């Protein structure tokens, strides 16, 4: 009988961890505000931006970031560590909620579809293909 009890406990623990793994996978897939951008420094103007990880035009790995605002065809990105979910600082738009400096990238010519409802918005939706934003507007691309 002792073994049966342990077996039930084992099953419960396995189910718990399986559940966590599935949830993590779903959460990761649901994000649509993530952009990878050139991280070569202020002197680089290669302006590589992509919704998927990869190298920039200078052949260095792009940095993970997430959109916290779109103004015109420029995206303002949080520069915190991968996985951050902060918002723009309401009192200081040069900073994100974590207090780090934001960076600005042009989405022009990158092939990235994005929302800019009203010319400036915080929907923060980006995609590698056309579609609708959560606000109901069509995502747009600037060539
Ligand atoms: Zn670069
Ligand atoms: Zn952030
Ligand atoms: Zn939108």
**pLDDT tens for each residue of 49-101:** 999 999 999 999 999 999 999 999 999 999 999 999 999 999 999 999 999 99
Average pLDDT over residues 123-129: 98
Nearest alpha-carbon partner for 104 in 141, 78, 80: 78
Q: 5-14, 35-44, 108-117: which has the minimum mean pLDDT?
A: 5-14
CA triple 117-107-119, angle to 5 deg:
20
pLDDT at 29 over 60: no
**Do 102 and 67 fall into the same domain?**
yes
Given a cut of 70, is residue 130 above it in pLDDT? yes
| Residues 122-137, mean pLDDT to the nearest whole number | 97
Count the domains in the chain: 2
Decide if 120 is inside a domain: no
CA angle (33, 36, 37) in 5-degree steps: 125
Q: Which residue has the higher pLDDT, 81 or 1?
A: 81
Nearest ligand to the CA atom of 42: 1
Phi–psi pair at 103, nearest 5 degrees: -125, 155
Calculate how far, in angstroms, residue 85's C-alpha sits from the geometric centre of ligand 2.
5
Q: SS3 of 98, please?
A: coil
Q: Which has more pLDDT, 7 or 56?
A: 56
pLDDT (average), residues 122-130: 98
Query: Can you give the pLDDT at residue 32?
Result: 97
Is there a single domain that holds both residue 100 and residue 64?
A: yes
Q: Which domain holds residue 15?
A: 1-30
Ion ligand 1 — residues with CB < 5 Å:
38, 40, 44, 46, 56, 58
Residue of higher predicted confidence among 65 and 11: 65
Classify 65 as helix, strand or coil: strand
* Structural domain contains residue 88: yes
| Strand-pair partners of 51 | none
> What's the full length of the chain, in residues?
143
Confidence at residue 17, expressed as pLDDT on a 0 to 100 scale: 65
Looking at all shown ligands, the one closest to residue 62's CA atom is 1
Mean pLDDT of all residues in the chain?
89
End-to-end Cα separation, the chain, in angstroms = 69
Together in a domain, 42 and 59? yes
């Amino acid at each position: 009988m002792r073994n049966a009890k342990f077996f039930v406990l084992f099953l419960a623990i396995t189910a718990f961890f399986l559940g966590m793994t599935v949830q993590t996978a779903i959460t990761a897939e649901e994000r649509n505000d993530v952009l990878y951008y050139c991280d070569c420094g202020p002197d680089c103007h290669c302006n590589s931006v992509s919704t998927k990880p990869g190298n920039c035009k200078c052949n260095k790995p792009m940095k993970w970031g997430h959109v916290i605002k779109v103004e015109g065809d420029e995206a303002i990105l949080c520069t915190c560590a991968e996985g951050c979910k902060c918002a723009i600082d309401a009192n200081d738009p040069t900073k994100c909620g974590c207090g780090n400096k934001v960076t600005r990238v042009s989405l022009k010519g990158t092939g990235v579809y994005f929302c800019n409802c009203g010319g400036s918005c915080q929907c923060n939706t980006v995609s590698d293909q056309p579609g609708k934003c959560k606000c109901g507007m069509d995502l747009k691309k600037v060539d």
